A and B are shown apart, each in its own frame.
Chain A
Amino acid sequence: MTGYIIRRLIYGILIMLAVTTLVFFLIRAVPGDPVRAMVGFESDPAAVQEIKEKWGFDEPIYVQYGMWFWNVLHGDLGTSIWLKQSVNQVLIEAFPRSLSLVVIAFAMSSLIAIPAGIISAVKRYSLLDYVVTFFAFLGLSMPAFWFGIILIIVFASNLQLLPAFGYESLFENPQAWFLHILLPATAAGVPLIASLSRMTRSAVLEELKQDYVRTARSKGVPELSVILKHVVQNAAIPIVTIMGINLAVLFRGTVVIENVFAIKGLGRMLISGAINRDYPLLQGTILIIAGIFVFTNIFVDILYTYINPTIRYK
């Protein structure tokens, strides 16, 4: 098991390095000059040259890559051209914002979806089942960012209950933090209820057919404890799989949600980096996102072995 984890970690790190290398060369493969984008297109050629030298953009591309790679190995992601700030600093500030969003959205979607899925499996083909299924499809088909816009219009502009934009630090002002994160987390989380409740429903239905359920019922175990103690525990593997995918989907969702709610998290840095051709910022953000993704996958796979001890990795 330890050997498996170590191999997965090493492979994960290799993947991250390969991705960032690919990104590095890809964004330099096309015409478009980050320096011109920074100083304006009518500026003095001498000034442009001076800036190019300062940032190392006048070096051959493999030298630039070598310099960048060396710095990354030393934990230095470079300096953002657009923000004129260290990328490390920018991402350290951005990460807790994205994390808050993802954690609250994840908790919200799981707390609603799993009970909804269990109920709709137990009361199969009832009105309640149809209602849950319908909303599941609605969530699946709704653009999350559009849902965010509607939430802003209803709860911020019209009812004026919650703030529409920005982020407050959890440690400085927990109440403001929660109020600010509530709308974006709802926008990101609600669409995920769809896949999770559907998966919970089909996993529970699958288990309800099993012999042990009939045995438990016939020996007089109360229905509630048949469901909660026997069925749900055995249905946990597919449910956890979808939860793991959801966690990944949430990080993807934050890209757009953060832009709707003006939260300066990883997603917003990614878009800023892309639109402003801010190479160091774009590379650094993609490296961090790839890292989060790779390690979440490894974590979920390890979690399986705790839920179902019959799973063994070699």
Chain B
Amino acid sequence: MMNRIKENFSKFARNRIALVGAIIFLLVIFTAIFSPQITPFDPNRQDFGMISPPSTSHVLGTDDLGRDLLSRLISGARISLIVAFSAVSLALVVGVTLGLLAGYYGGLVDMLVMRYIDLQWSLPNLVIAVGLMAVFGRGLINIILAISVAWFDDFARITRGEVLGIREVDYVSAARSLGGSDGRILIRHILPNSIAPIIVQATICLAWGILAEASLSYLGLGVNPSTPTWGLILSDARGFFSFAWWLAVFPGVAIMITTLSVNFLGDGLRDFFDVREIKKEE
């Protein structure tokens, strides 16, 4: 077992870009978890209540209320990642379950799931998320729900495709003829053998989740205004961009570093699992 893990790790580590992505992403996660301990200032403390450029005391400058930008970005990391991780997990669980059921049972279940997915495909994901936020209203739970609903169909479609390919292979027939229940076959045999493209999709989706949160918050359809997230920090700074460049540049760089590391990681995983580029299905 240890040998296998070691072997797999060195196979993964040979892809240096993916390793760099993984390390950077772990650092971001670490920052998010320990954000209350490592922020140099209280993110809500107002220093003289005025905007100031990067300096030795405020490394990334302050916003219009004199709040330290670095501290706000560090505590923003936490909310942005919570939103992205929760939304992707929810989308993954719901999407994979529906994909498994649709692919395995076929018939009416398959038809209902696929027709619903057709509906979602007729609108861009972000438009779905915007529409749902209009219904739910702003808030942390609401934005998680909106993003997961808007993106779960990709998981369902990919899982279903995998299941259709595996459903009739010999080991599944063998398990069935030995009297394995449907649940056991789905969870012990089919799911592990279709997990690779799902994991790759999850990393892609994580990057989208971070971008979607930023976009929705920027548009005023995200979390509540009192919660700092990267998108909201950008949105708050809208009136000051022309003379306070640091308020525009640094939150975007924070978003970009995170999504870039996730994308590097995803690309490495794709090579590792040998998953082909995910194409639109007919």
Partner of B135, one of A19, A30, A275: A30
A273 CB → nearest B CB, Å = 7
B87 interface residue per 8 A CB criterion: no
Q: Once the chains bind, are B263 and A137 in contact (CB under 8 Å)?
A: yes
Q: Once the chains bind, are A29 and B135 in contact (CB under 8 Å)?
A: yes
Smallest Cβ-Cβ distance to B214: which chain A residue = A143
Task: Jot down 27 A-B pairs with beta carbons below 8 A, ordered by A.
Answer: A16-B122, A19-B122, A23-B131, A27-B131, A138-B256, A141-B207, A141-B259, A141-B263, A143-B215, A145-B218, A146-B234, A146-B251, A146-B252, A149-B248, A150-B249, A150-B252, A153-B242, A252-B127, A256-B218, A256-B219, A259-B219, A270-B130, A271-B221, A289-B127, A290-B123, A293-B121, A293-B123
Partner of A140, one of B125, B248, B255, B263: B263
Interface residues on A, range: 35 or more
Since A19-B122, A152-B241 are in contact, a sample of 8 more A-B pairs with Cβ atoms closer than 8 Å, ordered by chain A residue number, is A19-B119, A141-B260, A143-B211, A149-B248, A255-B126, A256-B219, A259-B219, A274-B131
A9 interface residue per 8 A CB criterion: no
Q: Once the chains bind, are A251 and B259 in contact (CB under 8 Å)?
A: no
Docked Cα-Cα span, A224 to B256, in Å, equals 37
B225 interface residue per 8 A CB criterion: no
B277 interface residue per 8 A CB criterion: yes
Q: A141-B207, A152-B241 are in contact. Are A19 and B249 (CB under 8 A)?
A: no
Smallest Cβ-Cβ distance to B115: which chain A residue = A18
Smallest Cβ-Cβ distance to A290: which chain B residue = B122
Contact with B along A98-115 (1 / 0, CB 8 A): 000000000000000000
A88 interface residue per 8 A CB criterion: no
A134 CB → nearest B CB, Å = 9
Q: Once the chains bind, are B134 and A275 in contact (CB under 8 Å)?
A: yes
Partner of A26, one of B126, B131, B219: B131
Q: A18-B119, A286-B127 are in contact. Are A149 and B221 (CB under 8 A)?
A: no
Contact with A along B253-280 (1 / 0, CB 8 A): 0011001101110010000000001011
Docked Cα-Cα span, A146 to B259, in Å, equals 13
Partner of B260, one of A137, A245, A259, A301: A137
Docked Cα-Cα span, A294 to B279, in Å, equals 17
B51 CB → nearest A CB, Å = 15
Docked Cα-Cα span, A18 to B115, in Å, equals 10
Docked Cα-Cα span, A138 to B126, in Å, equals 21
Q: B123 contacts which chain A residues (CB < 8 A)?
A: 19, 286, 289-290, 293
Q: Give the B-binding residues of A (Cβ under 8 A).
A: 12, 15-16, 18-19, 22-23, 26-27, 29-30, 32, 137-138, 140-143, 145-147, 149-150, 152-153, 157, 199, 202, 238, 241, 244-245, 248-249, 251-252, 255-256, 259, 270-271, 273-275, 277, 282, 286, 289-290, 293-294, 297, 301
List B residues 126-140 near A (Cβ within 8 Å): 126-127, 130-137
Smallest Cβ-Cβ distance to A27: which chain B residue = B135
Q: Once the chains bind, are A15 and B122 in contact (CB under 8 Å)?
A: yes
Docked Cα-Cα span, A286 to B145, in Å, equals 20
Partner of A241, one of B137, B242, B280: B280
The 5 closest A-B pairs by CB, nearest first: A252-B124, A274-B134, A146-B252, A141-B260, A141-B259
Q: Once the chains bind, are A270 and B211 in contact (CB under 8 Å)?
A: no
A162 CB → nearest B CB, Å = 14
Q: A271 contacts which chain B residues (CB < 8 A)?
A: 130, 219-221
Smallest Cβ-Cβ distance to B215: which chain A residue = A256
Docked Cα-Cα span, A258 to B260, in Å, equals 24
Q: A15-B118, A30-B135, A238-B279 are in contact. Are A252 and B260 (CB under 8 A)?
A: no
B30 interface residue per 8 A CB criterion: no
Q: Once the chains bind, are B135 and A26 in contact (CB under 8 Å)?
A: yes
Partner of A145, one of B133, B215, B221, B264: B215
Docked Cα-Cα span, A16 to B123, in Å, equals 9
Q: A19 contacts which chain B residues (CB < 8 A)?
A: 119, 122-123
Q: A137-B263, A270-B127 are in contact. Are A275 and B221 (CB under 8 A)?
A: yes
Q: Once the chains bind, are A30 and B136 in contact (CB under 8 Å)?
A: yes
Q: Once the chains bind, are B252 and A149 in contact (CB under 8 Å)?
A: yes
Contact with A along B101-130 (1 / 0, CB 8 A): 000000000000000001101111111001
B34 interface residue per 8 A CB criterion: no
Q: A152 contacts which chain B residues (CB < 8 A)?
A: 241
Q: Once the chains bind, are B241 and A149 in contact (CB under 8 Å)?
A: yes
Docked Cα-Cα span, A187 to B97, in Å, equals 37
B171 interface residue per 8 A CB criterion: no
Q: B133 contacts which chain A residues (CB < 8 A)?
A: 274
List B residues 193-226 near A (Cβ within 8 Å): 207, 211, 214-215, 218-221
B245 interface residue per 8 A CB criterion: yes
